[in-house]
Structure 1
Amino acid sequence: METRWKRMRFERGWSQRDVLRRLAAAARRQGVTLPAEGSVIKALSRWENGHSRPTSFYFGLLAEVFDLPPDAGTVPVAVPKPGTVTAELKSLRAEVERLAELVSRLAAVA
């Protein structure tokens, strides 16, 4: 199954390592560092093959790397160093808050 992440990478003629370098640069601009290269490549492969979805932290970096508009999905959130339990929990909490807000908006419209 081809996902948009894989399609956008192929459209640009980038390797996964090219995406990794761009993700690392985007993370540095946000003042954070990525986990080990192998971990990020493995995650990227899982996102590209539809086995998992990026957290809001990684979505923010991917949106910057692929020049996606802000309304293309979740917005980047400031999180602790990625790859830590604290970072993942904070990312998940932000995602839950975002979804709760969407549910609230839908309930108000209905």
Structure 2
Amino acid sequence: MPEMTVTVAGPVPQQPQLLRAASTPLGQARVARGWSQEKAVRALVLLAQSWDWQIAAESSLKVQLSRWEHGATRPNETYRALLCAVYRTTPETLGFDRPQQSQTVKSLRERVNALESLVENLMGALSATQGVQA
């Protein structure tokens, strides 16, 4: 077969679809393998089928993968096992040992509310003290 040569006139064009992921360990693991979300989903489906596990349909799984990669939700134990196997890594490497971001935000919100309540109480006590001294 003859060798084929391709010549491009002008600057080299940008790749149409760069692999993108959230800056989470899960998203970075996918991109490090050079996989699109579609390829990762397909790998999850094929692995689950080979293990005879029931999981979501590919279309739902793609949405879930995006949510997991962005920290909106966390995969359950079934999907954690599948993800670790597909990416050939540990739960810790994929960030499954870290607290969920929404739990952290909830915790911070509760602390802010408690501090606001404390400030209101202190302001009330200060007002009452100033009224007595006058």
TM over 0.5: yes
Aligned residue runs from structure 1 range 6-17, under 5 A: 6-17=27-38
Unaligned residue ranges in structure 2 (runs of 5+): 1-21, 98-134
Contact preservation (8 Å) 2:37, 2:65? yes
Q: Which has the larger radius of gyration?
A: 2
* AA matched with 1:12: R
Identity across matched positions, percent? 35
Of 79, 94, 116 in structure 2, the residue corresponding to residue 58 of structure 1 is 79
Between stretches 19-28 and 31-40, larger displacement belongs to: 31-40
Aligned residue runs from structure 1 range 12-91, under 5 A: 12-69=33-90
Unaligned residue ranges in structure 1 (runs of 5+): 75-110
Aligned Cα root-mean-square deviation (Å)? 2.0
The equivalent residue for 2:26 is: 5
Q: SS where residue 55 of structure 2 aligns?
A: coil
TM-score scaled to structure 2, two decimals? 0.50
Between stretches 24-33 and 62-71, larger displacement belongs to: 62-71
Cα-to-partner distance string for 1:43-87 (whole Å, 9 max, x where unaligned): 00000101011100000000100001477668xxxxxxxxxxxxx
Q: Which has the higher helix share?
A: 1
Q: Give the number of equivalent residue pairs.
A: 74
TM-score scaled to structure 1, two decimals? 0.60
Between stretches 65-74 and 38-47, larger displacement belongs to: 65-74
Contact preservation (8 Å) 2:45, 2:55? yes
